[in-house]
Amino acid sequence: MRRPITSSFPSGHATAAFTAASVLAHTGHGDVFWFTVATVVAGSRVYVRMHHASDVIAGALVGIALGRVARHWFDPPGR
């Protein structure tokens, strides 16, 4: 696997995984499942040494925030 010269901050994979988990978990089905999948994706980035743990944690926080914004924008009124 090609390792980048520098790591990106925050992790794009963690951000995307936690954004998706935040949106999908809001449906009320499989909340724990979606966040478990997001955690595995984020953890794999540290495991393969593509990111530092701080990159992944920041990406997870950004992803959760973006997921909340997405839910606010796309949820139908009165729900």
In the chain, where are the structural domains located?
12-74
Give the pLDDT score at 36. 95
DSSP-derived secondary structure for 17-49: HHHHHHHHHTTSSSHHHHHHHHHHHHHHHHHTT
Give the pLDDT score at 3. 62
Among 8, 21, 24, residue whose Cα is nearest residue 58: 8
**Phi–psi pair at 70, nearest 5 degrees:** -60, -45
Rounded to two decimals, the pTM is: 0.82
Structure tokens at 61: 């926080």
Tens-place pLDDT, residues 26-70: 767 778 999 999 999 999 998 988 888 999 999 999 999 999 999
Instruction: State yes or no: pLDDT of 72 exceeds 80.
Output: yes
Mean pLDDT of 7-23: 88
**Do 57 and 17 contact (CB within 8 A), yes or no?**
no
